[in-house]
Chains A and B, each alone.
Chain A
Amino acid sequence: MSDSAFLGMPAFPAAARAATGDAQLRHNLRKATHTIRDKRASVVGELDDWPVLRAAGAAIKDRTLRHLDTYLVRLEESVRAAGGTVHWAADAAEANRIVTGLVQATGETEVVKVKSMATQEIELNEALAEAGITAFETDLAELIVQLGDDHPSHILVPAIHRNRAEIREIFLRTMRDWGVPAPDDLTDDPRALAEAARVHLREKFLRAKVGVSGANFAVADTGTMVVLESEGNGRMCLTLPETLISVVGIEKIVPTWSDLEVFLQLLPRSSTGERMNPYTSTWTGVTPGDGPQDFHLVLLDNGRTDVLADTVGRQALRCIRCSACLNICPVYERAGGHAYGSVYPGPIGAILTPQLRGTSSELDASLPYASSLCGACYEVCPVAIDIPEVLVHLREQVVDGPGHRAEKAAMAAAGWVLDDEKRLGAAQRAASGARGLVPHTLPGPGSAWTDTRDVPEIPAESFRQWWRRRNKGRDKGGAE
């Protein structure tokens, strides 16, 4: 292999290697992911009907996706009927143009934001900044990322890679540049750090005229938006401004109001490991005398229809962004979120990013290989996305696709996952643990569902077996 392999080194293995060597980062990640894993297991174990809820969640999302055109039109009608305005954005640029135009129409130059994956994906803050509009992130972890001029590394806890001492340092150094400074005697007690964030953001909430959010769910038959959160920053952004703009991926729809009875159980228990998150807000259009009187819903495609078109990969659109698959993943735990080069890290990112962006870049071609195929992600996924199945499917596409470059990138990532004996050992231990737990048919009433379709199986083949089969007689090469 030529040296050029090193020049064009794909981001996953390169970044993963750097992260693995960062002891602080590894410590932070390990501590955090193990804490949340245990909490999740405990509150999930408390519900004896979890397998049925999981099957219901998957089926509701499948129903939505297979009839997405119908539900999109229904959602549009419902939101309009409730006094909201609906916009459609084919891609990130169009969504950013729409939101920028809406903010400019208010005459404001500041917006407060609730944490939203969709707006990170389209890089809305950067687009607003170019138009002279400042977007203030208000979720504590997003604030840490924004103040630290950093990138999110986790879906739920974007600053999971930072520990309390680092957060204290960031607050002391940068808060003054964005508004109310941190107190000089700030300690690294999480309580003190949360208090500093409260004081820093309070003024912004009270004067905000425009709020920008995403939504966890959008209910087609009622036009209701749903946002789950913990801190109350979401409520502030959704309630106090005069104008509210919500950017929502087209896959966030659920058909009916009563479908929320499933997801309001699946999501909090899978994500923060709580029986319920502290605050959930739902709103339907506008309510006279209560909250924003001007509501805009921006429906975002930005590659989602490409994912939808792939009958194997489509299931990735069921994702409710709980992050359970990140927290359980042995590769994520070692590589960290940044290695995935996208706002969607971890196992879900490894299947979603290459589908949203295609596999033409080395980084995106390498992502389907950022896994040992152990299957733990599938086991914890509350909507039963068979991530290993999609990974294998995408690998076939990368290998069969044109260009030696892409293939080499993929091999490099695979090499990273494979090469370290300890890493592999851990991955395989997790694998054998997870495999024994995966139900092939669902017990009780859920069996009605499994009668008509199989619960997808984790590939029996381990990564190493797959690798050997794919590469018989081929030199593993020097690109890592």
Chain B
Amino acid sequence: MSGSRETVLAKVRAALADVDPAERAEDVAVPRGYARSHDMGDPVAVFVDRLVDYKALVRQVAAAELPGEVAAALERRGAERIVAPADLPAAWTADVGTGTALVPDDGLGVRELDTADGVLTGCAAAVAETGTIVCDGGAAQGRRAITLVPDYHLCVVRAEQIVGGVPEAVARLDPARPLTWISGPSATSDIELDRVEGVHGPRTLEVIIVGA
């Protein structure tokens, strides 16, 4: 069933009677002189600045310090059950104390996700200028639901994953994968256009930048 496919296409073609049939789409010039990234300073520093602006929690550590920092973050949070994608590197959680149980995602139901205290993932890329983390379901990220339903998202970003501007990120990402671009914790500006952090998505976003 495709409904009025031919009708709509015929109306579109009739509406474009003024367009020379010899014109190709590429003949409509698009200026591409905009910047791939803007000169805003050290990308990691800019990324941190943006995250803080969004009221995300952020820490920078050397690679060797990552397990300790993950453990410390989960302890600060008081998280007892933390969802983890099945392929999360074991080293990341090597120091996690006995107070926190890691729950691997083997197709957890939404109710189980809803009762978890948080989720720990990596990411696919990050954008400094906009303070954005992009998850694509690839390594150490899992499916979309696990970074959505729990109220706390702890995300590990490697410094080399951070690009400067949006065009650089778009070029790195694979559109065939389901992508989630995350810029701070969930928020709303629907009440008098005042930004309030924390609605349906995780109300707390904590980012650990490794190897800065």
Chain A interfacial positions (CB closer than 8 Å to B):
28, 31-32, 35-36, 46-49, 52-53, 55-56, 59-60, 62-63, 66-73, 76, 82, 86-90, 94, 98, 138-141, 144, 157, 159-160, 163-164, 167, 190-191, 193-195, 197-198, 201-202, 205-206, 219, 222, 224, 230-233, 235-236, 239-240, 250, 255, 257-258, 260-262, 264-265, 268, 272, 274-284, 287, 289-291, 299, 301, 305-306, 308-309, 311, 442, 444-446, 448-449, 452
Interface CB pairs A-B, < 8 A, 15: A49-B38, A52-B34, A56-B31, A67-B23, A87-B3, A157-B190, A222-B176, A240-B145, A250-B8, A275-B130, A278-B182, A279-B201, A281-B178, A289-B107, A446-B31
Do A72 and B9 form a contact, CB below 8 Å, given A222-B175, A272-B189? yes
Question: Could you say which residues of chain A place their CB within 8 Å of the CB of B12?
Answer: 68-69, 72, 250, 305, 308
A89–B4 CB distance below 8 A: yes
Q: Is the CB of A66 within 8 A of B16?
A: yes
Q: Decide yes or no whether B104 CB sits under 8 A from chain A.
A: no
Q: Is the interface of A mostly helix, strand, loop or mixed?
A: helix
In the bound complex, do residue B190 and residue A98 qualify as a contact, i.e. CB atoms below 8 Å apart? no
**Does B187 belong to the interface (CB within 8 Å)?**
yes
B151-181 CB contacts (< 8 Å) to partner A: 166-167, 170-171, 175-181
Residues in chain A near residue B3, CB distance under 8 A: 87-90, 94, 98
Please tell me if B1 contacts chain A, counting CB pairs below 8 Å. yes
Bits for B177-201, please: 1 = Cβ < 8 Å to A, else 0.
Answer: 1111111111111111110101111
Q: Which residues from chain B contact A205 at a C-beta distance below 8 Å?
A: 200
Find out whether the CB atom of B16 lies under 8 angstroms from the CB atom of A69.
yes
Tell me how many residue pairs across A and B have CB atoms closer than 8 Å. 277
Q: Are A444 and B189 in contact (CB under 8 A)?
A: no
Beta-carbon contact of A278 and B38 below 8 Å:
no
Tell me, yes or no, whether B111 is within 8 Å of chain A by CB: yes
Q: Say if the beta carbon of B22 comes within 8 Å of chain A.
A: no
Q: Is B91 positioned at the interface, with any CB of A under 8 Å from its CB?
A: no
Task: Tell me if B16 and A278 are in contact (CB < 8 A).
Answer: no
B131 to A: closest C-beta gap in Å: 7
CB < 8 Å neighbour of A194 from B127, B130, B132, B191: B191
Q: Select which of A287, A309, A446 is within 8 A of B33 by beta carbon.
A: A446
> With A306-B15, A308-B15 in contact, do A82 and B182 touch (Cβ < 8 Å)?
no
Contact check, A287 vs B137: say whether CB atoms are below 8 A apart.
Answer: yes
Neighbouring B residues of A140 by C-beta, 8 Å: 188, 190-191, 199
A contact residues around B19 at 8 Å (CB): 66-67
Q: In the complex, given contacts A48-B35, A284-B175, A290-B145, what are 20 additional A-B residue pairs having Cβ atoms less than 8 angstroms apart?
A: A47-B35, A59-B30, A67-B23, A87-B2, A157-B190, A157-B193, A194-B191, A202-B114, A262-B34, A275-B129, A275-B131, A276-B131, A278-B54, A278-B183, A280-B179, A287-B137, A290-B143, A309-B14, A445-B34, A446-B33
B residues within 8 A CB of A70? Answer: 25
CA distance A224 to B177 in the complex (A): 9
Quick check: B7 and A261 within 8 Å, CB to CB? Answer: no
Interface bin, chain B:
35 or more
- B18 sits at the interface (CB 8 A): yes
Asked if A291 and B183 make an inter-chain contact with CB atoms under 8 angstroms apart, the answer reads no
Interface centre among A222, A239, A272 (most CB of B within 10 A): A239
A452 closest partner in B (C-beta): B29
Instruction: Identify the B interface with A (CB < 8 A).
Output: 1-5, 7-9, 11-19, 23-25, 28-35, 38, 50, 54, 107, 110-111, 114, 127, 129-132, 137, 143-145, 148-149, 166-167, 170-171, 175-194, 196, 198-202
Q: How far is the CA of A158 from the CA of B36 in the complex (A)?
A: 34
- Nearest 10 interchain pairs by C-beta: A445-B33, A232-B201, A232-B200, A309-B15, A276-B130, A261-B167, A63-B28, A305-B11, A231-B199, A280-B181
Closest to B110 in A: A206
Q: A87-B3, A206-B110, A233-B200 are in contact. Are A66 and B28 (CB under 8 A)?
A: yes
Per the bound structure, the CA–CA distance linking A257 and B107 in Å amounts to 30
Whether A239 touches B148, Cβ cut-off 8 Å, given contacts A194-B191, A230-B186, A301-B8, is yes
Query: Once bound together, how far apart are the Cα atoms of A277 and B188, in whole Å?
Result: 10
- Name the B residues within 8 Å of A86 (CB-CB): 2
Q: Are B170 and A257 in contact (CB under 8 A)?
A: yes
Judge whether A279 and B144 touch: CB under 8 Å: no
Measured CB to CB, the closest approach of chain B to A177, in angstroms, equals 21
* Shortest distance from the beta carbon of A159 to any chain B beta carbon, whole Å: 6
Complex Cα distance, B182 from A230, in Å, reads: 10
Q: Is the CB of B50 within 8 A of A32?
A: no
Distance in angstroms between the alpha carbons of A308 and B33 in the assembled complex = 28
Interchain CB contact (< 8 A) of B186 among A232, A289, A305: A232
Check A73 against B4 for contact (C-beta < 8 Å): no
Instruction: Please give, as numbers and ranges, the residues of chain B lying within 8 Å of A276 by CB-CB distance.
Output: 127, 130-132, 166, 181, 183
> Please, which residues of chain B bring their CB within 8 A of the CB of A139?
190
The answer to whether B199 touches A198, judged by C-beta atoms less than 8 angstroms apart, is yes
Question: Which residues of A are found within 8 Å of B201, using beta-carbon distances?
Answer: 231-232, 235, 278-279
With both beta carbons as reference points, the residue of chain B lying nearest to A35 in the complex is identified as B193
Taking the nearest CB of chain A, how far is it from the CB of B109, in angstroms?
A: 9
CB distance from B104 to the nearest CB of A (A): 14
The verdict on A194 contacting B31 (CB below 8 Å), with A222-B175, A278-B182 known, is: no
Instruction: Determine the chain B residues whose CB is within 8 A of the CB of A98 once the complex forms.
Output: 1, 3
Complex Cα gap A144–B176 (Å): 35
| Residues of the B chain whose Cβ atoms lie less than 8 Å from the Cβ of A198 | 198-200
How far in angstroms is the closest Cβ of chain B from A460?
26
User: Nearest B residue to A193 by beta-carbon distance?
Assistant: B191
B183 engages A190 (CB within 8 Å): no
In the complex, chain B residues whose CB is within 8 Å of the CB of A231: 186-188, 190, 199-201
Instruction: Determine the residue in chain B with the shortest Cβ distance to A301.
Output: B8
Contacts of B194 in A (CB 8 A): 35, 190
A56:B30 contact, CB within 8 angstroms = yes
Residues of A within 8 A of B187 (CB): 230-231, 278
Residues of chain B within 8 A (CB-CB) of A444 are 33
Contact B148 A261 (CB under 8 A): no
Q: Which residues of B contact A66 (CB under 8 A)?
A: 16, 19, 23, 25, 28
Chain B residues positioned under 8 Å from A224 (CB to CB):
175
Contacts of B31 in A (CB 8 A): 52, 55-56, 59, 442, 445-446, 448-449
